[in-house]
Each structure stands twice: as C-alpha cells, then as structure tokens.
Amino acid sequence: MNRKCLLEISVETVEAALAAESGGADRVELCGDLSAGGVTPGAALLRAVRAQVRIPIFSMIRPRAGDFVYSAAEFAEMKRSIIGAKESGMDGVVLGILTKDHRVDVRRTQELIEFAKPLPVTYHRAFDESADLHRALEDVIQSGAKRILTSGGAKSALEGAAVLAELIEAAGDRIVIVPGAGISALNIEQVARQTGALEFHSGLGAALPYGSEDYNKFEAEVRKLAEAVGRLT
C-alpha cells in the first residue's frame, strides 16, 4: 500500500478520547451511549473533548437509538446538532437516514450534508440496513458524503470482507469506504488484505466492554491496533 492507512476509534468520554489519542488513533468518532450504537453526544462533552484532544474529532449526529427513519422533528434536531458540532469545533460529522423501504434517503441526506459544510460527512452503518448495498453506495455518493462506515452488511467487517472489497472497487476514488464492526488488532491486517481498505474503524467492543473505565487497557488496545495499521503502510 502506498498511501498511509488511518485508524478511527469510537469513544463516549473525554478519558477514552485521550486514551485513543495517546494510543495512536488518527481520529475519534465521538458518541453518546455507545451501548445503543451511539447517539449525538451532549454539548458539554463535545466542548470538553475538543478542549483536550488534538487529533480530528467526528461527532455522531443521531437523535435516538433504533431505526434510521426519522420524523420531521427528529430531522430538525439533527440540524441543530450539526450546528452544535460546528460551534464546538468538530472536524466532521457522522450521520445516516433511511426511507421506510430501507433505501438511503438521498434528499434529506443531501440536505444535511449541505447544512454541515464545510465539515465532511461520514454516512454511518445505517448503510448496512439498506436493501441493496450497491444501490446504496451510489445513493450515498450522490448525496455528497465523503465516507461510508460499513461492515459490508455482515455482523462484522471480517465476515463482510468480500462485499467490502466489491464496494471499495465500485467506489474507486469517489468515496472512502471505512470497514467497521468487530475490528481488533487480531484481525485488522486480514481485513485490510481482503478488502483493500485504507481507513478502519473500531470501538474495541471485542476487547473491552462498553462502559468500562479501564482507560489504561483501552489505550493499550488502541496502541495494538495502531501498530497493526502502521504495518499496513
């Protein structure tokens, strides 16, 4: 691989963000309530993490846990959360909206992406609930997002590696496909080899349960991942 590979770690506390940075992460995805898959973090958390962490921070924009079909009120809340992310100095946002028939809601996704500018947008794993991933890929590209976080529709990125490889080939230089779900230091090199991906996402859920406050262990696990990513370049 000629280009540098990149590691993103999802976190829900200042301490975890600092541990991720110390362990060698290139970027953090800041969420509230990771045990529910991650929702929009509170304003105080956004400001606190931004004040102490130097690496890029992408904020989750998700008004609630559950499905990704949102009401008009929830859509308006997402816009307010994007304003909050901008005001807090975030480097990007992470979001996803589906229609009732499990397709990417291109119109509303596009509206949020325009609203978020100049911040780049990652379309999150709502993508994996799409009825047709290849069609969803084209829809997300049309919406203007810069990245897609996906497991290839499988329970883990390793299980979805074949589909991820297809998506990465189909995407070309139009969008970055970021494998996520179940990625650890034990399998990240295999995921990279089988998919050709250059960016990777991990919440370290396999190594450390959500809500654990053993930040030394968290940092050590991030360091193992970062060292593995370093060997890919």
What is the tens place of the pLDDT at every residue in 70-102?
A: 999 999 999 999 999 999 999 999 999 999 999
Domain 6-230 superfamily per CATH? Copper homeostasis (CutC) domain (3.20.20.380)
Distance CA 177, CA 186 (A): 21
User: What pLDDT is recorded for position 2?
Assistant: 54
Tell me the per-residue pLDDT of 1-10, one tens digit each, with 9 for 90 and over: 456 899 999 9
Tell me the per-residue pLDDT of 52-75, one tens digit each, with 9 for 90 and over: 999 999 999 999 999 999 999 999
pLDDT exceeds cutoff 50 at 224: yes
The secondary element (H helix, E strand) that includes residue 30 is strand 27-30
Domain boundaries, the chain: 6-230
Contact 100, 128 (CB under 8 A): no
User: What pLDDT is recorded for position 3?
Assistant: 67
CA dihedral for 63, 64, 66, 70, sign (positive or negative):
negative
Least confident of 29-38, 120-129, 192-201, 204-213: 204-213
For 172: left if phi > 0, alpha if psi spans -120 to 50, otherwise beta; the answer is: left
pLDDT exceeds cutoff 90 at 204: no
pLDDT higher for 116 or 36? Answer: 116
User: What pLDDT is recorded for position 129?
Assistant: 96
User: What pLDDT is recorded for position 210?
Assistant: 66
Q: Largest Cα–Cα distance in the chain?
A: 46
Confidence of residue 211 (pLDDT cuts 50, 70, 90): low
pLDDT above 70 covers what percent of the chain? 96
The secondary element (H helix, E strand) that includes residue 14 is helix 14-23
Query: 118: cis peptide before it, omega within 30°?
Result: yes
Burial string for 188-220 (b: 16+ CB within 10 Å, else e) reads beebbebbebbbbbbbbebbbeeeeeebeebbb
> How far apart, in Å, do the first and last CA atoms of the chain sit?
5
Contact 203, 196 (CB under 8 A): no
- CA 147-79-41 angle, to 5 degrees, is 75
Contact 24, 223 (CB under 8 A): yes
Distance CA 188, CA 201 (A): 10
User: What pLDDT is recorded for position 35?
Assistant: 85
3-state secondary structure of 113: helix
User: What pLDDT is recorded for position 1?
Assistant: 42
